[in-house]
Amino acid sequence: MHITQLNRECLLHLFSFLDKNSRKNLAKTCHKLLEVFQDPLLWSLLNFHSPAELKKDNFLLGPALKYLSICWYSERVKVCNIEDWMKNSFQKDFCNRHENTVSDFLLDVCNRCPNLLSLTLSGCGHVTDDCILLLLRNCPNLKTLKLENCVRITDRTLEAVTLYGRALRTLHVDFCRNITQAGLEKVREKCPSVMLRAERSANMIPDSKPEKKLMLEKASRKLVQL
């Protein structure tokens, strides 16, 4: 039996075992397999491991998407987690390209994937509070939100959770250095049903320019003297 003689259900099952590139390559062989590749039911789960993967045409975004994971840890991408004021011109240019890629992709998710249930973002140094706010507003069924080492996430995201995360049951904000203890307490108070995890976040040093740090140190010394 030739593979194209299998019914749609069997073909979808076979495609589900392939990675994104393999699905795309198989879809190029004939019209029937291309139709399977384009079936929204095939794309209920997506995993990405580098910013470059977000720009490829080997996947589909649609209302069938339920589980999305965007995680990367390469040494090169760690540049994106450096404080902005410490970056040189090359690093800033590199990070600007990443920021546009990530924000454009998440905007597409907001517009095309209203039934998203779970979102995991790890090591994504350019994910902003605005992106998460839009996702919470446009994906009302979101139950799990995991943000690990997303350095630009602040208490604004926690505030958005209290306002729009009606369906949310799990929130991880581990190693998000610009989140405060006050923000975490507000989530615990207003969303007691949410399982909140924030390993080290409120105990890390938040981003601030050297002159601001110096002013804070001087203020601390004055308080000690008093």
Query: Cα 135 vs. chain centroid, distance in angstroms?
Result: 10
- The pLDDT value recorded for residue 51 is 80
Highest mean pLDDT among 9-18, 99-108, 217-226: 9-18
- Check pLDDT > 60 for residue 210: no
The answer to whether residues 199 and 179 touch, using CB atoms and an 8 Å cutoff, is no
Q: What is the dihedral of CA 109, 164, 198, 153, to 10 degrees?
A: 60
- Check pLDDT > 90 for residue 221: no
Q: What is the DSSP string of the chain?
A: --GGGS-HHHHHHHHTTS-HHHHHHHHTT-HHHHHHHT-GGG-SEEEE-SGGGGG-SS---STT--EEEEE---TTGGGGGS-GGG--HHHHHHHHHHHHHHHHHHHHHHHH-TT--EEEEES-TT--HHHHHHHHHH-TT--EEEEES-TT-BHHHHHHHHHH-TT--EEE-TT-TB--HHHHHHHHHH-TTSEEE-TTGGGSPPP--HHHHHHHHHHHHHHHH-
- The pLDDT value recorded for residue 101 is 85
- The pLDDT value recorded for residue 95 is 61
Strand bridging mode 170-172 / 195-197: parallel
> By percentage, how much of the chain surpasses pLDDT 90?
62
The whole-angstrom separation of Cα 51 and Cα 98 is: 7
Q: How confident is the model at residue 79 (pLDDT cuts 50, 70, 90)?
A: low
Mean pLDDT of 148-169: 94
Task: Spell out the domains of the chain, with CATH numbers in brackets.
Answer: 1-42 (1.20.1280), 44-224 (3.80.10)
- The pLDDT value recorded for residue 9 is 94
- Check pLDDT > 70 for residue 168: yes
The 10s digit of each residue's pLDDT in 179-207 is 999 999 999 999 999 999 999 888 766 65
The 10s digit of each residue's pLDDT in 101-136 is 888 999 999 999 999 999 999 888 778 999 999 999
The whole-angstrom separation of Cα 159 and Cα 156 is: 5
